[in-house]
Structure 1
Amino acid sequence: MSEKRCILLFVKYPAKGKVKSRLADDLSEETAICLYRSFVDDILRTLKECGYPFTVWFSPPDANEKISQWLGEGNVYVPQRGHDLGEKIKHAFLQTFSQGFTQVLLIGSDLPDLSCSILRDAFEFDHVNAVIGPSFDGGYYLIGFRHDTFSEEIFDNMHWSTDGVFRETMARLRRKGYLVHVLPERRDIDRAEDLRDFAERNRDSDFAHSETMRYLRAHQKTLFPEVNTP
């Protein structure tokens, strides 16, 4: 069977105090907002290059006009619905599967150098029940299901934004007897030290000319002068 694939990108409108709070604590509110905008711009560029259908799920749900002004009119925007992240994730998956998609991935906006090769690898889960990409901080940067393996209970009563999210998610998947395709572990950008690591690993990579790297080069002296980002 030919699979109908879709990627769900979760974003927040970058209002003051609403995005990258830990990065704002380490650097500044203005810097955190500028970086977040760059992260999302880079992820959208990658999604368009990969060629998979994708939708942008935004928060808060009344920010449709602001999101469109920020990211442009050419994308499909859908408001996130639910009282917590788990409810929002469930709603997004269920709505997308109801539209006839058979393989769906969900990604966040903390990993701007997520590549097409990772996404292609993530979609290779015909013979397993789910796919997940763990992050160094104990969460995950990607999760995906087939239409016949999606389970709402995986996301119920989860302690989000803790270092046990990936571990607990894997435990729930295994209790259901699921085979899981685990992607390479990656480092989200939540703190200044993550940003330093990101700048170093992408200094000579294909991502060196991204919006995020351009911002880092332009503000290197004020952000972290010890990092060489030519």
Structure 2
Amino acid sequence: MSKPGVIAIMVRVPVAGQVKTRLIPALGAEGACRLYRAMVDDLLDQAEATGLPIHLFFTGGVQGQLPLSWQQIAAHLSLQQGEDLGARMAHAFATCFQEGERVVLIGSDIPDMGTEILLKAGEALVDQGVVLAPARDGGYCLLGLRRGVDVAGIFCDMPWSTDQVLAMTRQRLRARKHRVCLLPPLRDIDTPEDLLAYQKYPNPTARRVNQVLLELLPPYSLSFRRV
């Protein structure tokens, strides 16, 4: 019997001034931290609803600094390991493949990520080796892999945090003749511009995020209602 799938989530310990620093000019250090924690809270709710085990990979502090609710939802907690994002992602996959045949790895700042998308990614891995959900900034916010698929090259020498990441990743996957399921693009929130874009098309299921934004930003600047 094959092992079940696993959802891996990369998070930072929510410390004011150390998370979502590019949002500090718009929200302040405490506000940016509140928003980040709300994004993770909403995301964990969506991930938990899949019924799949959740493995949190954290950085920016020690395990005891993670909110208790995060620790309680996660089946496993691990410190991120690696010198850059690619190495940390590779470590996360290697760790999770000890728990499941299929691993869906996501970031923690994607209010549009929902249970349906996570389940669709896991289902696609039954027939295909790789699943990608593009981010609107040129990167990707979800990467799903099936155990045994050789994708080591997509983690090395990648210009992370640039608009070239998705294109280069897809090019390398094509060169290795991997079958890839491409999901619809999602928006993450890194900058004030991302925040404004999200306000125009908020996700109604991201209740904590929407509530925090209602409290932090002037009501006239918001396009969503209190939910």
What is residue 89 of structure 1 aligned with on the other side?
89
> What is the letter of the counterpart of residue 133 of structure 1?
A
Deviates more, 1:20-29 or 1:152-161: 20-29
Which of 218, 227, 230 is the equivalent residue of 2:222? Answer: 227
**Structure 1 position 44 matched with structure 2 position 44:** yes
Aligned to 1:148: 148
SS in 1 for 2:133: strand
Q: What is the match of residue 20 of structure 1?
A: 20
Check whether the contact 1:200–1:227 (CA below 8 A) recurs between aligned residues. yes
Aligned residues: 223
Residue of structure 1 in register with 2:118 after alignment: 119
Shift, 1:198, TM fit:
2.0
- Give me the identity figure in percent: 34
Which 4+ runs in 1 deviate beyond 6 A? none
- 1:146 and 1:39 mapped to 2: Cα distance? 27
Instruction: Tell me how large the CA RMSD over aligned residues is.
Output: 1.9
- Could you tell me how far 1:227 is from its partner in structure 2? 2.1
1:179-198 counterparts in 2 under 5 A?
Answer: 179-198=179-198
Corresponding position of 1:212: 209
Q: Is the 8 A contact 1:216 1:229 kept in 2?
A: no
Unaligned runs of 5+ in 2: none
- In structure 1, stretches of 5+ residues that fail to align are none
TM-score (norm 1): 0.89
Shift of 1:4: 1.7
For 2:62, the aligned partner's letter is A
Aligned equivalents of 2:102 and 2:151: distance in 1?
13
1:56-95 alignment, distance < 5 Å: 56-60=56-60, 62-69=61-68, 71-75=70-74, 76-95=76-95
SS state at 1:225 partner: helix
Q: Do 2:2 and 2:101's aligned partners in 1 also have CA atoms closer than 8 Å? A: no
**1:35-68 deviation per Cα after TM superposition (whole angstroms, max 9, x unaligned):** 00100011111111121111111003x5111115
Aligned counterpart, 2:33: 33
> Are the counterparts in 2 of residues 138 and 167 from structure 1 also a CA contact under 8 Å?
yes
Taking the aligned partners of 2:65 and 2:58, their CA distance within structure 1 comes to 10
TM-score w.r.t. length of structure 2: 0.90
8 Å contact from structure 2 (residues 27, 216) kept in 1: no
Q: Residues 75-106 of structure 1, C-alpha deviation per residue, up to 9 Å, x if partnerless? A: 2211101111111111110111123x111010
